[in-house]
Amino acid sequence: MKNYKIIIQYDGTPFCGWQIQKNGRTVQGVLTDALSTVLREKITINGSGRTDTGVHAIGQCANFRTGKVLNEREFVYSVNSILPKEISIISFVEVDFEFHPRFDARRRIYYYMISHKKSPFYFDYSMYRLVNLNIEKLNHYSNQIMGEHDFTSFAKTADQAENKVCTVYDARWRKSGFLTIFRIEADRFLHSMVRTIVGTLLKAHDENFHDDRITNIILSKDRTQASEAVVSKGLFLYKVIY
């Protein structure tokens, strides 16, 4: 039995997230069907983590096992030829049999994009906000979420994870043309955590929070203390580090 790791890119716009659902079209579901068709056997795919409805991925990692010895070029070509245009396998490699993309991941990196001009090319891939942002102020507030914290206040209330402690290694903003881009890197993320952090940091920026306000939101472990999550279409899973 062989264990193969694949890196996948997808436009999350038409999907109900990554994870297979009974009543929704998902990335995992479409990939499972494509792999099973090409390999002519029932395939199970494990992902590095779930992405919500409308969230995109530049470097989602997954694995599957099969008894077949696969040629990289032929396999990738065959699967990509039947996948919809919104999904693509960009790399493929055999890995140790025990490798698991979720449990072996050390860090994950997400980007969130905000567009300050109305552009048809960025409509499905960014949050539109006409007013420009003060990057220095946003980075000042972002410093307060770095480190190891219980992020209950930033998780969707339906999140079933018992342990909500995450370590944020990097959280910073920058400008690129008419885009403002937020990068966050952590060992793990809770359900809707990144989008809620972005929403809270934007509110802190707009309302000039006192320096201890975000710290108090974290310590409260109360989802109602944080802001609403921003729209999912601006969020990208950029990379998973092993």
The answer as to whether 100 is a domain residue is no
* Max CA pair span of the chain: 59
Residue 78 and residue 1 in contact, taking contact as beta carbons nearer than 8 Å: no
* pLDDT tens per residue, range 97-127: 999 999 999 999 999 999 999 999 999 999 9
The model's pTM: 0.95
Q: Are residues 216 and 139 in the same domain?
A: yes
Q: Are residues 169 and 213 in the same domain?
A: yes
Q: Are residues 138 and 167 in the same domain?
A: yes
The active-site residue out of 33, 52, 124, 206 is 52
Quick check: is 52 catalytic?
A: yes
Residue 185 pLDDT class (50, 70, 90 cuts): very high
pLDDT, residue 211, reads 85
Q: Does position 158 have pLDDT exceeding 70, yes or no?
A: no
pLDDT average, residue stretch 90-96: 96
Domain containing residue 155: CATH number = 3.30.70.660
* pLDDT tens per residue, range 28-80: 999 999 999 999 999 999 999 999 999 999 999 999 999 999 999 999 999 99
Take residue 110 and report the two structure tokens written for it.
């997400």
Q: Are residues 121 and 60 in the same domain?
A: no
| Burial annotation 168-194 (CB, 10 A radius, 16+ → b, else e) | beebebeeeeebbbbebbbebbbbbbb
Q: Are residues 188 and 118 in the same domain?
A: yes
* pLDDT tens per residue, range 197-236: 999 999 999 999 998 999 999 999 999 999 999 999 999 9
pLDDT, residue 68, reads 94
* Domain around 60: 2-95
Residue 133 pLDDT class (50, 70, 90 cuts): very high
Domain end call among 66, 95, 124: 95
What total number of domains does the chain contain? Answer: 2
Q: Are residues 61 and 131 in the same domain?
A: no
pLDDT, residue 227, reads 96
pLDDT, residue 160, reads 67
Q: In sequence order, which residues have a C-beta less than 8 Å from that of residue 165 and are 6 or more positions away?
A: 148, 149, 150, 151
DSSP string, 19-85: S-BTTB--HHHHHHHHHHHHHTS----EESS---TT-EEEEEEEEEEESS---HHHHHHHHHHHS-T
Q: Are residues 45 and 67 in the same domain?
A: yes
